[in-house]
Structure 1
Amino acid sequence: MSEKLGLLGGVSIALGGMIGGGIFAVLGVVAQMAGPSAWVAFTGGGVVAFCAGYSYVRLQRLGDVSGGSVSFITEFVDSTTVAGMVGWTLLFGYVGSMGMYAFAFGSFATRLLGVEAAVGVPLRPVVSVLAVFGFVGLNVLGARTSGTTEVVLVAAKVGILLVFGVWGFYFGAETGQLTTGLSAATAGGLLMSAALSFVAFQGWQLLFYDEESLRNARTTIPRAVYLSIPASLILYVLVAVVTTGLLQPGTIAANPEIALAIAAEPFMGRIGFVLISLAALFSTGSAINATLFSAAHFATGMLEDDLLPDRIGDEDADGVPTRTLVVLGVITAAFTAYGSLQGITSFASLAFISVFGSMSLLAFRHRTGVRTGVLPAIGVLGAVLFFPSLVYHLAVMEPEVFGVVIVVAAVVLGLEALYFKRETIRSGIDGMQ
């Protein structure tokens, strides 16, 4: 983006990262698990995300550094290995997010076209993979929206969801279909679904990588974080109440990826399904593009700091290395083609819970008093509760998904260990010869 963005542009970047794809990809999965109390789960996830956002702002001010998590670890922990492992975890969280967006994109596209298979081959994975590589191509060509376009597009997406939420809430209240869901909610179920919803709130951290595109960034970023997270939470709560109130649990369970569009039909008719589906296609597509752009720049910074292997990209390339974009695209395509929506969402949520919790802990350790320690402490507590509850849910309720998550996590950790301990390993091998 050539022009500098102000507060409105900063809020648009953050909201675009959260509402742009999160609500369409995550809502049905959370509603499937929590039922009518899904709004409570989103509230829990949003509160912990807000505390993490405060922690990021606090660390940026204390260290006077730019770039987010890896920069904070480098500044306050002074460990290249820890910084690299946090960076790798965050990078795979981005890949999981893109896989989640691509999964939703393919689901909405095939259902909207009314063609879900061809020659016996499911089209959803095909469309999802094509979408990923389509946006890889756009980023290789350097295509980016302008600041003004970003604001307009985010306003359009928020407007459509507000119409859905307000109209649907009125319709549900008039027909007596809305419920709080608190009577049937359980603490364990809410905790697990709140953990699953966490990935829907990760978009605000993109601001810390777009600092150069913001006017008065050190003032704009905190304000944008503090405005965007509550705004997205309010919208998530409204949409969750309407969707779970108007749809039967069986309908949501059978169609978690397009539950939002189906929920529009009772009061908006077929045009509602089409409108929400089109909004979802555009939103998830733009979320893939924006996340790929930010992840690629993040990876380039890690290459420059020798935190990623040279084979992933050329650190001296002009702009983002094409090889880096292709590698991210290939891994994302594999996630979205072979993974389930809940598996991809769970993996991405676990990655962001780990990183955001670590940053909250770092901010808590560098608190200067009670006032600066409360919110980071809540962020740490949320991560400590979210991580094991989500792992437990996967192990007990989704053993196949759990197995995939464990394998992927083990591979990532193994690659990290091999890379950051490569000199020690090489010395050991040489000593045996």
Structure 2
Amino acid sequence: MNENSNKEEKVSLKEAISIGIGGMVGGGIFAVLGLATDLAKGGTPISFLIAGAIALITAYSYAKLSVSFPDKGGTVKFINKGFGITVFSGGINNLLWISYIIMLSLYASAFGSYAPNLFAITNSQTLDAHIYGSVIIIIATLINYYSIAVVGKIESIAVIIKLVILLAFVAIGIYGLSSSTHLEQLSISNWESPLNLVVAGMMIFVAYEGFELIANAAPDIENPKKNIPKAYYGSVIFVIFLYIIISIITVGSLDFDEIATAKDYVLAEAAKPMLGTIGFTIITVAALISTFSAINASLYGGSRVSFELSQDDELPHQLTYQLWNQPIGLLITMVATLVLVNTLQLESISTAGSVGFLLIFACVNYVGFKLHKEIKSNKYITLIGCLSCSIALLTLIIKQFTTNRTNVLIAVGIVLFCFLIEFIYKRNEKNKAAN
């Protein structure tokens, strides 16, 4: 009986791939597609390819580390394994928690942008996008407090629904491109400069970050040596192709001016030329389901990160306390998300999220390089991953600093805040020990 029970608890390869795909195809593509197109124009598919290539190289480091150090702490454990329990590792891990909060803000902003369209279709009175975003955060938090099992069920159903709708969109969109009058927008003459293509890719890098959730499931994946790498590579490669095709359909179906006007809900707008109001409605519903499920899962993930950090003595032990049978970090995550979603613009949120994850992934790749003998990895691939993330991060910061300094200051300020909090905490703990 025990053996059967253990087998049932194991995560299959199919389920592990679903975790990766579900983590990436959450609210990201709905939130940042318009932003990417605004920056890269006809070269938007190339920007998604650039971002995807960096995600795939980083997935190599994650795969090797997950096989060697399977732990529900995932990224937190990898950083601590490579750097020890230090102010630096604590700062990076704090940044992971904050990055979850930033992603929640991104998803809530996307929900808030799509929701008014649904009510407009039904001729109902619409509210401010911030209200929709705030309400959905509160509802998802209540669901997390009510039952984690319900969160899991919502995620399982949502992954199927959003993939079916997006794949249908792709199939119909490819057919519709044959009669589109906007295909010339994809020509090289309509691409932005190579630098802008890279910057656009880094701005929307947050749409790929979800593959790291596979690391948290690593201890439960069956036949881990074979299935963990397959889960990472399979999910990332699938999503790269999905994003590229979606961006081709979008740029090939709508005029650039139409894309700019509907930037916050451009995927729904792209369905109009093919299916009219019905297509617009279906994609809007898919966006609402996707962003809601992503918020649900990210709230749980964020609260778990804060719990892990507290257990590892990188944040106060009070964060291990329970409030209504859930870590206190869940409530803190909700409040912080409400603050960000009501104070920052979508572009600022996306920039901060990309800066955070590029820095985190650069560090994970470095850990893969540093421990290459122990984890049996190719040190050159992990080094390339570290350098790619670092160069992409610097490119994004420098370019954004010349065009939108506020976004960079917010992103850098968040990073510094994470390290400052860790420094103050470690110093206080040291002073307590000395006394």
The TM-score normalised by the length of structure 1 is 0.89
Matched, 1:412 2:418: yes
Report how many residues are paired. 423
* Pairs within 5 Å for 1:207-356: 207-211=214-218, 213-217=220-224, 219-314=226-321, 320-321=326-327, 323-356=328-361
> What is the rounded CA distance, in whole Å, between the counterparts of 1:149 and 1:288 in structure 2?
11
Q: 2:199 aligns with which of 189, 192, 201?
A: 192
> What is the rounded CA distance, in whole Å, between the counterparts of 1:303 and 1:56 in structure 2?
23
Task: Describe the SS at the equivalent of 2:271.
Answer: helix
Give yes or no for contact 1:9–1:151 (8 Å, CA) kept in 2. Answer: no
CA distance 1:109–1:149, shift in 2 (3 Å): closer
Task: Describe the SS at the equivalent of 2:42.
Answer: helix
| Structure 2 gaps, min length 5 | 1-7
Identify which range, 77-86 or 417-426, moves more after superposition: 417-426
> What is the rounded CA distance, in whole Å, between the counterparts of 1:370 and 1:186 in structure 2?
39
Per the alignment, residue 12 of structure 2 pairs with: 6
Q: 1:59 aligns with which of 65, 83, 91?
A: 65
* Pairs within 5 Å for 1:9-408: 9-63=15-69, 67-114=73-120, 123-145=128-150, 150-179=155-184, 180-183=186-189, 184-211=191-218, 213-217=220-224, 219-314=226-321, 320-321=326-327, 323-368=328-373, 372-408=378-414
Q: Percent identity?
A: 27
Identify which range, 401-410 or 26-35, moves more after superposition: 401-410
CA distance 1:328–1:181, shift in 2 (3 Å): farther
Give yes or no for contact 1:14–1:203 (8 Å, CA) kept in 2. Answer: yes
CA distance 1:375–1:191, shift in 2 (3 Å): same
> What is the rounded CA distance, in whole Å, between the counterparts of 1:167 and 1:64 in structure 2?
41
Give, as a single letter, the amino acid of the residue that structure 2 aligns with 1:91: W
Give yes or no for contact 2:372–2:379 (8 Å, CA) kept in 1. Answer: yes
For residue 290 of structure 1, report the CA deviation from its aligned partner: 0.8
> What is the rounded CA distance, in whole Å, between the counterparts of 1:318 and 1:306 in structure 2?
23
> What is the rounded CA distance, in whole Å, between the counterparts of 2:131 and 2:323 in structure 1?
31
For residue 393 of structure 1, report the CA deviation from its aligned partner: 2.9
For residue 426 of structure 1, report the CA deviation from its aligned partner: 6.9
> What is the rounded CA distance, in whole Å, between the counterparts of 2:201 and 2:278 in structure 1?
31
CA distance 1:145–1:46, shift in 2 (3 Å): farther
> What is the rounded CA distance, in whole Å, between the counterparts of 2:70 and 2:219 in structure 1?
15
Per-residue Cα deviation, 1:107-147 (whole angstroms, up to 9, x for no partner)? 100122129xx99x961111101111111111111243587
Per-residue Cα deviation, 1:248-307 (whole angstroms, up to 9, x for no partner)? 222222322200001110111000110000000000000011111122122211111121
Give yes or no for contact 2:205–2:354 (8 Å, CA) kept in 1. Answer: yes
> What is the rounded CA distance, in whole Å, between the counterparts of 1:17 and 1:281 in structure 2?
15
Give yes or no for contact 2:48–2:243 (8 Å, CA) kept in 1. Answer: yes
The TM-score normalised by the length of structure 2 is 0.89
Identify which range, 169-178 or 224-233, moves more after superposition: 169-178
CA distance 1:154–1:65, shift in 2 (3 Å): closer
Identify which range, 213-222 or 50-59, moves more after superposition: 213-222
Give yes or no for contact 2:141–2:334 (8 Å, CA) kept in 1. Answer: yes
Per-residue Cα deviation, 1:35-71 (whole angstroms, up to 9, x for no partner)? 1211111111111111111101212334565532221
CA distance 1:9–1:64, shift in 2 (3 Å): closer
Give yes or no for contact 1:45–1:195 (8 Å, CA) kept in 2. Answer: yes
RMSD value, Cα: 2.8
Give yes or no for contact 1:105–1:128 (8 Å, CA) kept in 2. Answer: yes
> What is the rounded CA distance, in whole Å, between the counterparts of 1:124 and 1:65 in structure 2?
38
For residue 150 of structure 1, report the CA deviation from its aligned partner: 4.7
> What is the rounded CA distance, in whole Å, between the counterparts of 2:241 and 2:283 in structure 1?
19
CA distance 1:112–1:64, shift in 2 (3 Å): closer
> What is the rounded CA distance, in whole Å, between the counterparts of 2:318 and 2:143 in structure 1?
22
For residue 399 of structure 1, report the CA deviation from its aligned partner: 2.6
Per-residue Cα deviation, 1:22-46 (whole angstroms, up to 9, x for no partner)? 1111211111111121111111111
Task: Describe the SS at the equivalent of 1:225.
Answer: helix
Give, as a single letter, the amino acid of the residue that structure 1 aligns with 2:139: G
Give yes or no for contact 2:70–2:218 (8 Å, CA) kept in 1. Answer: no
| Structure 1 gaps, min length 5 | none
CA distance 1:217–1:58, shift in 2 (3 Å): closer
> What is the rounded CA distance, in whole Å, between the counterparts of 2:152 and 2:146 in structure 1?
18
> What is the rounded CA distance, in whole Å, between the counterparts of 1:33 and 1:278 in structure 2?
26
